[in-house]
Chain A
Amino acid sequence: MILGQYIEDAINWMTANFSGFFDAVNIGMSSLIDVIESFWGWLPFYVTIALFAGIAWWKAGKSNAILTIVGLLFIYFAGFWVETMQTFALVLASAFIALVIGIPLGIWSAKNETAQKVIRPILDFMQTMPAFVYLIPAVLFFGLGTVPGAFATIIFAMPPVVRLTSLGIKQVPEEIVEATKAFGATPGQLLVKVQLPLAMPTILAGVNQTIMMALSMVVIASMIGAKGLGEIVLQGISQLRIGLGFESGLAVVLLAIILDRITQNLGKSSKKK
């Protein structure tokens, strides 16, 4: 296929000419991931569980706090604690970078029609592409390991927060925007004092989706050497150890549920019991 040939050439050209850049990114990302990972690794498991449960209680209510405790205890006693924390650290790091890039992109595409015209098809493309495809350039740029896993995850997880940030800003009623301008707001004041606060629930829905997609991708990224729960799932599959595969799969699901419950309610003020 000619198209495939072109893309291969382009990626080869990029690895050849931007190797310095990719190395810098590699170092930056791996140190960020290391810091986060060693923090969660260093924290005793009961403190981590208490912390998670506390946040869940605060944001999502009592029953979700109980669910969090039970789920994390299961993970601990099933022997997946270290891997779960690795996965969690990778999700946190990738989602953080995806948000840092994605939210400004969303703002830009809400405010600029040309930007929107360019960004939208790219997002469509990114979202419909099978997740595995991202692994290929990630490996070519960064080799095997955690960083390419994070790279693929960032790309895969970014679209929802871009889309929903843009949507949230555009949904601010025209009259409110007009009123803000009419009282002499600069574009910056309009964004910070009006558009972002009013778009916040929608943006946070995007944050939630980005985190969930990051989690699903982090598991897949184990195929190219990212550490964490995905490794055990892969092990279960390749060694046909159904029990191990099932248990580690359940751990992923539990982590997903806990993260979802907590981040779903980010936008709402703390829940009463």
Chain B
Amino acid sequence: MEKIRIENLSLVFGKNKSKALKLLESGKNKAEILDATGCTVAVQHANLSIDEGEIFVVMGLSGSGKSTLLRCLNRLINPTTGKIFINNEEITNMNDRELLNIRRKELAMVFQHFGLLPHRTVLSNVAFGQELQGISKAERETQAMETIDLVGLKGYENQKVSELSGGMQQRVGLARGLANKPEVLLMDEAFSALDPLIRSQMQDELLILQEKMKKTIVFITHDLDEAIKLGDRIAIMKDGEIVQIGTSEEIITNPANDYIESFVENVDRSKIVTAASIMFSKPKVARLKKEGPAGVLRIMRENGVEHLPVVRTNRTFLGYVKLTDVLRLKKEEAKTIESIINESVMSVTPDTTIENMLPLLSKTNLPIPVVNGENHLLGVVSPTSIIAESTGMAKKEIHEIIQKAIEL
């Protein structure tokens, strides 16, 4: 279900907004508009739909407009044009009262440098949101203690936040965000200021928390690895534009343009790319009931292959047959190929990553069958394409190799 929708949002910083917008409509780019008007176009024509319960990552280099876009969601910055809906309610036309209410109840934010009140304790920082709502001290502190427990800060509640390490401070930031029980969590480079080790730990913990909480999280980062690790879906921004939206696998296997291609070049594809996206989905098969040895032999000759997967009529995968066996059966004038099916073939599911398929290569040189939960054959992955993908060759090369692999 859709939680947040952004429609045609643009945001211009500077004095001469209307002129800048006109130039933007006429197709000028960020640099040209800056030259002509002195205005910075931070976000241009953004369209997004974020589902309830997903971690939606916005990724891009510094200055690409990520923070600005995020701040439009709770209107810390007001968009120049465009609309934002949360729960199908337009927030871009809300008055101050309504805005205050939605900030208190629906949206919480976590900041890169934590944004905590240094003169206060952990407890009163976590309870801050509810303090602003005028909830009694006893009640808000009971709730805050629960949240403090949740993020693993128990025992620190009476420390001043300025005495804590960065990682601990960001736990306080996270706890403060969660204490209001918001439905949406906005996280602006929330882990970027942390040491790599702590950072990775916080990422893991966020994922574990998210399992339990199922919040809608909009997470900003400039780090592709973090985006891939956390994001159910990722939007990539460049110069204020959203260039591509998709799952990490969609983006990596099918980059929208050269910019994204160069961006994702160095990613360890084997952890992300799955069988589904590299399998050949209409493999030639031998149907157990329909084709006898002669029919199978014909298919093999026509396609120049020495092995064929065997399926029942409903596409249930049974195993492989080998050319030499088929020839033998034909000599014996057998009616069916049932006796020669090699059933000890390892199959994989569509979401198996390349990394997990690699070990299979040492056991077989046959195409790896991809089956669904009911053991229906969906396609095959050729060993060559696994190697090609995991070594990160150019897409065209890979394609050629896959083509060759299929033709073989």
Q: Hey, which bits of chain A sit against chain B, CB under 8 A?
A: 173, 175-176, 178-186, 189, 193-194, 197-198
Q: Which of A179, A193, A194, A198 contacts B109 (CB 8 A)?
A: A179
Complex CA gap A180/B176 in Å reads 11
Contact stretch, chosen from B11-19, B115-123, B367-375: B115-123
Complex CA gap A185/B128 in Å reads 10
**Chain A contacts for B76, CB-based, 8 A:** 178, 181-182
**Chain B contacts for A173, CB-based, 8 A:** 113, 115
Complex CA gap A194/B176 in Å reads 15
Task: Closest A residue to B186 by CB, please name it.
Answer: A182
Complex CA gap A185/B119 in Å reads 18
* B253 at the A interface (CB under 8 A): no
Give the number of A-B contacts (CB < 8 Å): 57
Complex CA gap A173/B176 in Å reads 18
Task: Closest B residue to A185 by CB, please name it.
Answer: B132
**Chain A contacts for B71, CB-based, 8 A:** 178
Task: Closest B residue to A183 by CB, please name it.
Answer: B129
Complex CA gap A198/B129 in Å reads 18
B170 to chain A, nearest CB (A): 12
* B111 at the A interface (CB under 8 A): yes
Leading 7 A-B pairs by shortest Cβ distance:
A179-B115, A184-B104, A184-B103, A175-B115, A182-B109, A183-B129, A184-B100
**Residue of A180, A183, A194 with most partner-chain B CB within 10 A:** A183
**Chain B contacts for A197, CB-based, 8 A:** 117, 119
CB pair A186–B112 under 8 Å, yes or no, is no
**Chain A contacts for B113, CB-based, 8 A:** 173, 175
Task: Closest A residue to B173 by CB, please name it.
Answer: A179
**Chain A contacts for B176, CB-based, 8 A:** 183
B140 to chain A, nearest CB (A): 12
* B133 at the A interface (CB under 8 A): yes
* B107 at the A interface (CB under 8 A): yes
A27 to chain B, nearest CB (A): 42
**Chain B contacts for A186, CB-based, 8 A:** 100
Interface size class on chain B is: 20 to 34
Q: Which of A178, A184, A185, A193 contacts B111 (CB 8 A)?
A: A178
**Chain B contacts for A178, CB-based, 8 A:** 71, 76, 109, 111, 115
CB pair B119–A184 under 8 Å, yes or no, is no
**Residue of A180, A184, A189, A194 with most partner-chain B CB within 10 A:** A184
**Chain A contacts for B131, CB-based, 8 A:** 193
Complex CA gap A183/B186 in Å reads 11
**Chain B contacts for A182, CB-based, 8 A:** 74, 76, 103, 107-109, 186
* B180 at the A interface (CB under 8 A): yes
B323 to chain A, nearest CB (A): 67
Given A175-B111, A189-B132, are A181 and B116 neighbors across the interface (CB < 8 Å)? no
Given A197-B119, A198-B119, are A183 and B111 neighbors across the interface (CB < 8 Å)? no
B98 to chain A, nearest CB (A): 11
B 120-158 binary contact with A (CB < 8 Å = 1; else 0): 000000001101110000000000000000000000000
Complex CA gap A173/B186 in Å reads 19
**Chain B contacts for A180, CB-based, 8 A:** 128, 132
**Residue of A185, A186, A197 with most partner-chain B CB within 10 A:** A185
CB pair A176–B116 under 8 Å, yes or no, is yes
- Other than A173-B115, A184-B103, A193-B132, give 9 A-B pairs with Cβ distance below 8 A: A175-B113, A175-B115, A176-B117, A182-B74, A182-B76, A183-B103, A184-B104, A198-B117, A198-B119
B111 to chain A, nearest CB (A): 5
CB pair A184–B115 under 8 Å, yes or no, is no
* B62 at the A interface (CB under 8 A): no
Task: Closest A residue to B134 by CB, please name it.
Answer: A189
Task: Closest A residue to B105 by CB, please name it.
Answer: A184
B118 to chain A, nearest CB (A): 8
* B101 at the A interface (CB under 8 A): yes
**Chain B contacts for A194, CB-based, 8 A:** 117
Complex CA gap A10/B162 in Å reads 54
Can you sample 15 A-B contacts with CB below 8 Å?
A173-B115, A175-B113, A175-B114, A175-B115, A176-B115, A178-B109, A182-B74, A182-B103, A183-B108, A183-B128, A184-B103, A184-B129, A189-B132, A197-B119, A198-B117
B156-203: which residues lie under 8 A (CB-CB) from chain A? 176, 180, 186
Task: Closest A residue to B176 by CB, please name it.
Answer: A183
A147 to chain B, nearest CB (A): 40
**Chain A contacts for B101, CB-based, 8 A:** 184
Complex CA gap A194/B108 in Å reads 18
CB pair A179–B104 under 8 Å, yes or no, is no
A176 to chain B, nearest CB (A): 5
**Chain A contacts for B116, CB-based, 8 A:** 176, 179
B121 to chain A, nearest CB (A): 13
**Chain A contacts for B103, CB-based, 8 A:** 181-184
A173 to chain B, nearest CB (A): 8
